[in-house]
Chains A and B, each alone.
Chain A
Amino acid sequence: MINFFLSLKLSEADKRLIIAIFLIVILVFLIFGLLYDSVKLIMARQGKRVDALMNLIVSSGLIVSRKQFKKIAHHKSDVYFYKVTRVYVIILAIAGLLHLTYFLLMKYVAQMPLNIWDTQTGFATILPTFDWANIEMSEFFGVMLPSNWPPIINRPHFEVVAIGSYVIVPLYLACMIGGFFTILAYLARTLRIRKLATILFSADLSEKRIHDLGELADSENTEGINTPEKVTPAPEK
């Protein structure tokens, strides 16, 4: 195996290519590392909601077992999830209703095909669309790589027939993004409940000593056992 690597003869171009690939890989790793950190931070913040929801109950001292804590915390988290998701479900229902009305109008009144995402009657009319399939390629250190921006198929423009798409698509997108973050928050809370259940009912006895008499010497004997009485000296005459 080692002989195989030693027998390899790399040209200057190959060496450059290897360095370029290595740098790209490092960059990709770094991006994913930063992405992981941000997701972790967001989830930690979202998980803190459990602390706020359970603060009063835990502070009052009514929670006596881990099972009870988990049950109540999960219930509170579920109700909070329901409360937040309810908003998105209502938006989704409105968007669906609008979509249906728009579809019926386009089909039976305007008699035009409807696709809310395309570049003819859809939301993509106001977005630049690139022709990625026909992108200009060049040989770069022996590898075919994109060498220019792809040609533009659609330049952003306003279409009257696509006006319904401009309303419906943002509503769908808001529901998708909001739904994703709500589920992520629900997951974060579930994980936080598990963590809190462990922390709240854990005890550290490593500093405790059963036969430690050190504290006894300092403690005040209030029982009166074997305690010599304090005699006040008689006043001098």
Chain B
Amino acid sequence: MGNFFKKIGTGALVIILAPFGLVAFVLFAIYSVLKLIFLWFKAIGKFFVGEKLTDPLDIERQAAQIFEKEQLEKKKSVEKTADGKFAGATIHIYGTPTPQEAVTPSPKLDVIDEPITPKSIETAKVKNEDPLAVLLEVEKDD
């Protein structure tokens, strides 16, 4: 209810002060139009010099440089923190392959489907080893 009466009071004040407000607005509108004409001429003048009215000011360029510098420093500090993030932590280096391991293929192992007996072990040995080396070893044994 208080708000309602406040609105009504504001309305009454607006009606009383409206002529003054209107005059002030009209005067400001005239000033704006004059300013626009002035800006238009200024823009034309700048155009012939090879500049634009909408070009940033020197202070804006300086501010942008400061901002860029700050951003760069912030980025650097973030990178630093990321580098030292795992210092002192236990890393399972055998759990995951190193980049070199990932690139080089692992040696191919023969799978023996037969039941493991002393004979089969012997056979597997022969299969995997260099035949010349095996022959030399057999000769040595003999």
A interface residues, Cβ below 8 angstroms from B: 26, 28-37, 56-57, 59-62, 72, 75, 78-79, 81-83, 85, 89, 183, 186-187
Contacts and interface: CB of A to CB of B under 8 A. Distances in A.
Interface string B1-24: 000101111111011001000000
B29 interface: yes
Given A78-B35, A82-B39, A37 B59 contact: no
Nearest to B38: A78
A85 B25 CA distance: 17
B30 to A, nearest CB: 10
A34 B4 CA distance: 10
Given A82-B43, A82-B53, A33 B10 contact: yes
Nearest to A35: B14
User: Chain B: interface secondary structure?
Assistant: helix
Interface of B: 4, 6-12, 14-15, 18, 25, 28-29, 32, 35-36, 39-40, 43, 53-54, 57, 59-60, 62-64, 66-67
Nearest to B65: A60
Contact of B54 (A28, A79, A183): A79
B132 to A, nearest CB: 72
A213 B123 CA distance: 93
User: What 8 A-B pairs come out closest when comparing CB atoms?
Assistant: A33-B11, A29-B11, A32-B11, A33-B7, A60-B63, A33-B10, A82-B39, A60-B66
A83 B54 contact: yes
Given A33-B7, A57-B63, A81 B14 contact: no
